[in-house]
Amino acid sequence: MRRSICYVEPKSTCAGKVSTFKFVYSPSNNLHKGTRLKFDLLSRGRAIDWQIPQTNTKVKDNLIWMQLPQGTVVAAKALQGKSKVCPQFEFVLPSEVKAGEEITILLGSPEPKAQGSTPQVYVQRRRPFHLYIDTKGSGDYKEPEVFTLDVKGNELKNIRIITPSMVSKNERFDVIVRFEDCHGNLTANAPEGTLIDFSYDQLRENLNWKLFVPETGFINLPNLYFNEPGIYRIKLVNSHSKEAFYSSPIKCIESDSSASIYWGVFHGEFERFDAAAQIESCLRYCRDDLAYHFFASSAFDTEEETSNETWKMISLQIAEFNEEDRFVTYLGSQYEDSEEGLRQLVFSKDNKPLLRKKDAKSTSLKKIYKSHSPKELIGIPSFTMSKKTVYDFTDFSSEYEPVVEIYNAWGSSECTKEEGNLKPITAHGKSGTEEDPKGSIRRALNLGHRFGFVAGGLDDRGVFASFYPSDQVQYTPGLTAVISSSQSRDGIFQALKDRRCYATTGARMIINLEIAGLPMGCILSTKTKPGLIYNRYIRGYVIGTTPLKKIEIFRNGVAVKTFTPSSDRIEFEFDESTPLEESTLKSSLDDSLFTYYYLRALQEDGHIAWGSPIWIEFFQADANQPPAKKPAKKPLKS
């Protein structure tokens, strides 16, 4: 019995490479005149997906049409498919096609000089296309015939070097080198004989490596170490193009400190992968492609967004992917209320039920927090300055909410644009959302609330769903840096509760701020350190991924010190000797007096880092006591 034949010419293509594609179909039975054929690209219509063609045969660019065995051209008619994003394309046979003859659907251009069709920009093995056939012409389509095409990486454009951000002297570590095309796909598509020269700052003379571009598109360099403290960057030079590529900075410290910097997000998904329906691919992408050290799911609690079956699948994959010292995963969801704002709820353990707002036990945050301990759940206020999700920090719980999202891909909630917000929440037109000062993080800090800073990524679900197709201003997805003693659920969770974290707009910058020797997130007191009343010794450093533009130290929301470095790194120290009682704020919570400081770093390329604040509690009684004097030395006996 004869079977129908489907094949594509060419059999494979490069991601994003404009071409003309032929989908050849040879039927097993005669197709009568009037037979309908419906072609589905299975594209979601996003910028990263296969370009949606047009059907006007007078226009020769990005066209879809059919060619019969005798050369007759059949125009396509666009039909709206089930996805309501990308249409399907229908053809009606003007004459009979016999079994064994070839029907060709062409996607691209009939003229060599015209613009063809642009394929998707991500790699995919056996990428499917569906052809539905209705022999009766009544619109009753059966199971589809399937064409497949391999989408491979394009030409080598970038070399990405994945390194730790902090190591100890003589500590062994691995480096992953990814050879990528212009779309970030792994590729081995490089000129023959291409070699990569390996080096780094303060290079040992006996280390002279040359790397080749492997078929896998990546290579692991194990057991590297630095024998002197300092700031390092791995440097790779393409011997063919002479281009140089650098890693993010690596800080090598003298002591054998157990603390390290771990990168990831607690809120966000990705343009390519749906973090619910494609949770396994999403987690694999985070771990392998983005080199995240941790990730939390962030599904919305509604049935429309997250069904019980979907939540079960998310829970299963989160538990499966969690692996200490490699990739830490957390089960999380988003809770939204018109008065309480938006929260990212993160569990420390697996197999927790989805907290739906419609359920009696989770109709409010108070009920949710009451039924959970701070050891098993934290809430992260998100997008607090958006008019759509504004949260004025009423009933803020520092016990359950140790950190706040200062930034995500839709803007920063640090302060208003007039107050110096570098990534304001805004839209170019009437659609979208604008900033609401009531949700300002600086305002909340000035009221006496205490929390650290984290950053979220991109989100186009729930309250964010309308932003993506609108004129809402979009920025780069953010990253959270957690300074933890271990890459484990307990270690990272505890670091969040201690506010040992900072936020960036996506660059892996290394920052630190200390007052009297205590780091970001700490609370100092004039009771234990009365000298703080008269002088605060402040020091820190910023190591950028590109040259730095401006470093600001804020006291109570006002910049008191600004540095303008001329390189990609700076170490600073200074004495802040303004009398503390002249710069204190009164807490709206308990009338106590306090001062807080935080660091904001801006790079030349626009990337920003925000360090979690340091607080100083001021007690009036301590200010009335003069600073202790050293006892006079006893006279020497003659």
DSSP secondary structure letters along 110-125: SSTTS--B---SS-EE
Q: What angle do CA 384, 464, 78 make, to 5 degrees?
A: 165
Q: How many CB atoms lie within 10 A of CB 591?
A: 8
Contacts of 629 (CB under 8 A, 6+ apart): none
* High-pLDDT (> 70) share of the chain, %: 95
Torsion of CA 632, 633, 637, 638, to 10 degrees: -90
Q: What is the mean pLDDT of residues 548-566?
A: 97
Q: What is the mean pLDDT of residues 10-34?
A: 95
pLDDT tens-digit map of 306-334? 999 999 999 999 999 999 999 999 999 99
* Alpha-carbon span 530 to 581, nearest angstrom: 12
- Residue 588 has a pLDDT of 92
* Alpha-carbon span 597 to 519, nearest angstrom: 11
Answer yes or no: is pLDDT of 205 > 80: no
With CA atoms as reference, report the closest residue to 596 among 585, 605, 604.
Answer: 585
Q: How many CB atoms lie within 10 A of CB 29?
A: 13
- Residue 637 has a pLDDT of 46
* Alpha-carbon span 512 to 55, nearest angstrom: 57
Amino acid letter for position 601: A
- Residue 434 has a pLDDT of 95
CB 514 within 8 A of CB 506: no
Q: What is the mean pLDDT of residues 258-277?
A: 92
- Residue 262 has a pLDDT of 98
Q: State the pLDDT confidence band at 166, using cuts at 50, 70 and 90.
A: very high
Answer yes or no: is pLDDT of 484 > 60: yes
pLDDT tens-digit map of 394-413? 999 999 999 999 999 999 99
pLDDT tens-digit map of 332-365? 999 999 999 999 999 999 999 999 999 999 999 9
Q: What is the mean pLDDT of residues 616-626?
A: 72
Q: What is the mean pLDDT of residues 20-35?
A: 94
* DSSP type of residue 420: T
> Token pair for residue 370?
């009451």
Instruction: List the CATH code of the domain at 5-152.
Output: 2.60.40.10
Per DSSP, the three-state class of 491 is: helix
Answer yes or no: is pLDDT of 490 > 50: yes
Q: Which has more confidence, 257 or 633?
A: 257
CATH class of 158-257: mainly beta
Per DSSP, the three-state class of 166 is: strand
Q: State the pLDDT confidence band at 206, using cuts at 50, 70 and 90.
A: low
* Alpha-carbon span 177 to 224, nearest angstrom: 13
Q: What is the mean pLDDT of residues 3-27?
A: 95
Residue 139 burial by Cβ neighbours in a 10 Å radius (0-12, 13-18, 19+): exposed
With CA atoms as reference, report the closest residue to 278 among 461, 86, 15, 493.
Answer: 461
- Residue 636 has a pLDDT of 44
Contacts of 486 (CB under 8 A, 6+ apart): 258, 324, 325
Give CATH 2.60.40.10 domain extents, the chain: 5-152, 509-626
Answer yes or no: is pLDDT of 202 > 70: no
Give the bridge partners for 323, in sequence order.
Answer: 327
- Residue 470 has a pLDDT of 84
Give me the architecture of the 509-626 domain, per CATH: Sandwich (2.60)
CB 245 within 8 A of CB 236: yes
Give CATH 3.20.20.140 domain extents, the chain: 260-506
CB 482 within 8 A of CB 503: no
* Alpha-carbon span 387 to 94, nearest angstrom: 57
Per DSSP, the three-state class of 60 is: coil
- Residue 278 has a pLDDT of 92
- The distance from CA 432 to its chain's CA centroid, rounded to whole angstroms, is 21
Q: What is the mean pLDDT of residues 229-236?
A: 93
Q: Is 439 left (phi over 0), alpha (psi -120 to 50) or beta?
A: alpha
- Domain 260-506, CATH among 3.20.20.140, 3.40.50.620, 3.40.190.80, 3.30.365.10: 3.20.20.140
- Residue 82 has a pLDDT of 62
Q: What is the mean pLDDT of residues 30-44?
A: 93
Answer yes or no: is pLDDT of 627 > 90: no
* Alpha-carbon span 453 to 404, nearest angstrom: 5
Answer yes or no: is pLDDT of 3 > 70: yes
* Alpha-carbon span 26 to 127, nearest angstrom: 20
* High-pLDDT (> 90) share of the chain, %: 83
Question: Mean pLDDT over all residues of the chain?
Answer: 92
Q: What is the mean pLDDT of residues 429-457?
A: 95
Q: Which has more confidence, 57 or 157?
A: 157
Give CATH 2.60.40.1930 domain extents, the chain: 158-257
In this structure, of 187-201, 243-257, 616-630, the range with the lowest mean pLDDT score is: 616-630
Answer yes or no: is pLDDT of 203 > 80: no
Q: State the pLDDT confidence band at 69, using cuts at 50, 70 and 90.
A: very high
- Residue 204 has a pLDDT of 60
Q: Where are the alpha helices (DSSP H) in 452-558?
A: 489-497
- Residue 468 has a pLDDT of 79
550-560 CB burial, b ≥16 within 10 A, e <16: bbbbbbbbeee
- Residue 207 has a pLDDT of 67
